[in-house]
Chains A and B, each alone.
Chain A
Amino acid sequence: MRNFAAILEREVRSYFLSPLAYVVIFFFLAVSGIFFYLILSNFVEICIRATMQAQMYQMMPPKLNVNMMAIRPMLHNMALFALFFLPLVTMKLYAEEKKSGTIELLMTSPVTDGQVMLGKYTASLVLYLVMLALTFVYMIFIYAYGEPETGPILSGYLGLFLLGAAYLAFGLFFSSLTENQIIAAASTFAFILVFWAIGWISDFVSPRIGRVLAYFSLIEHFDDFARGVIDTKHIVFYLSFVFFGLFLTYLSIQSARWRGAK
């Protein structure tokens, strides 16, 4: 536990000492903010038009659901932005240490490879939580001007967290394969993209195969969270993804030891 904490602490510090973390946080917030603005102003426009129509026909103005019409698309957008930014969060975790040789310190210290791995992974989760927490500020706007349901927002964030956790686990894996951070980030991005796109392919193949493919789509499992439904089968799916990613990472580190590669 102490070893895990020591690794975690160093990684978190190192994130916040490097410009990269701030750049990632800034652009994630900026891009999310822009889309938040666009979606919300679109929603407001629809509301105004609906109200005007209602007045014309002398009816009660309809109650439009801000959760379904603004927050849900917003959550979907953030899931996409995470796909772009999270590979940048994990790329350095092993690659940098392999390149600089500090991995030799970790691997010859009385610390297990598992403790090192979990420390690094948890550090990336911490940074991601910071990113998510900051976007929460946007939701406060909605509370100020509308009456959203809190449940779907929270479940949506839970979904975002789980989805991101799956990205990060595979990011860690790809970082453990190379000493080149760019390669680590690019392969993570490509890999995750495939597991998004699998859902789209499923429309073009036979329904049986389509259902299987759709099951493996990372984003298919997200929509329920965005609609306010927390289903254990989705949680199990994302957690399996995380475990699988960590398992591969562990194998890759063990194999590097045997091969004598860095």
Chain B
Amino acid sequence: MIEVRHLSRNFGTVKAIEDVTFDVRKGEIVGFLGPNGAGKTTTMRILTGYIPATSGTAKVAGFDVQEQSLEVRKRIGYMPENPPLYGDMTVESYLHFVAKIKGVDGKLRKRNVEKVMEQVEIKDVRHRLIRTLSKGYKQRVGLAQALVHDPEVLILDEPTIGLDPKQIREVRTLIKNLAGEHTVILSTHILPEVSMTCERVIIINKGRIVAEDTPDNLTARLAGSQRVVMEVEGPVDSVISALRAVPGVMSVTADRAGGDSRSVFTVETSVGKDLRKELARTVVEKGWGLYELRTVEMSLEDVFLHLVTQEEEVGN
């Protein structure tokens, strides 16, 4: 349904995305995961025809986003990072306006607007001015706007940002129910979000795709990764460089001072390796005092961060 090939986009000298290639099959929900500034929004804006790519091609439903932009736009429902709402319109008249410019006519328009208000549960505010709505309701109207012409493809840029936990759950359920009928790409920087809603995850960092897999595989692949916390007595800089030199260590950070001349170090190790023995030996051989050594379970967020930093260092 969506074919992206070697897509790049520069903003002046900034390379927002570089050589991005991926496919999305019909009816699939794909999560776009990446930290701030990774290039998620940029990719989505190219797909929706908001900005052109610097190089590369993208096709949606067989139409080129550059050459046949209007055909593509008819088939996409897009929710930008900030829902594009007119504060001076009522919910209902706004949705009618959007349906109109998306090319939905007459009777069908009325039916679609009713259906979509039902779907995202905003019927109770249909006559309210949009600017008077709460953040959560605004977000839902933003979602309704993307759905109102019943598009084949849905592109949702951080659809749950700024919502309370209950609303987040509701929106996620809603998105899950859209699968099958619609092809969905959603972006987020929250890993649990993709593992809950998406069938496939594309991880993007600094404009490049760094991993692409199902959420389960991804978590499994990273479950073995570890973080080791050590309290060591010794000169901080030397300790850091000695620990860094241990094979398999990704990064070392000195946290707060312990007692006297001790410091607490956090050591990130690469996936699936237990380096506790080597770390302990290094410290002891140097004649520093080792006061504590323990492993810390990584949360899903840590795993993601880990992956992002790891790939980056491999790249260098």
Binding site for B on A (CB under 8 A): 2-3, 6-7, 10, 13-14, 17-18, 100-112, 257-260
Contacts and interface: CB of A to CB of B under 8 A. Distances in A.
Given A7-B101, A110-B102, A260-B11, A100 B87 contact: yes
Nearest to A260: B51
Contact of B84 (A18, A102, A257): A102
Contacts of B84: 100-105
Given A6-B100, A10-B97, A109-B101, A104 B80 contact: yes
Contacts of B228: none
Interface stretch (B71-79, B242-250, B272-280): B71-79
Give chain B's interface residue range (CB within 8 Å of chain A): 20 to 34
B49 A107 contact: yes
Nearest to A257: B51
Given A14-B86, A101-B80, A107 B101 contact: no
A14 B105 CA distance: 22
Nearest to A256: B51
Interface string B77-97: 010101111111100000001
Contacts of A3: 100-101
Interface string B11-42: 10000100000000000000000000000001
A186 B89 CA distance: 27
Contacts of A105: 78, 80, 84, 98, 145
A107 B103 contact: no
Contact of A108 (B9, B48, B86): B48
Nearest to A2: B100
Given A14-B86, A110-B70, A110-B74, 4 more contacts: A102-B84, A105-B78, A110-B101, A260-B45
A110 B145 contact: no
B52 A257 contact: yes
A257 B51 CA distance: 5
B70 A112 contact: yes
Contacts of B87: 100
Contacts of A104: 50, 78, 80, 84
A107 B50 contact: yes
A55 to B, nearest CB: 61
Contacts of A111: 101
A108 B101 contact: no
Contacts of B9: 260
Contacts of B98: 105, 109
Contacts of A17: 88
Contacts of B50: 104, 107-108, 257
Given A6-B100, A10-B97, A101 B78 contact: no
A127 to B, nearest CB: 15
Contacts of B145: 105
Nearest to B86: A102
Contacts of A102: 84-86
6 contacts: A3-B101, A10-B89, A101-B84, A105-B98, A110-B103, A260-B9
A151 B76 CA distance: 54
Contacts of B85: 100, 102
A14 B94 CA distance: 11
Nearest to B49: A108
Listed residue (A17, A18, A107, A110) with the most chain B CB atoms within 10 angstroms of its CB: A110
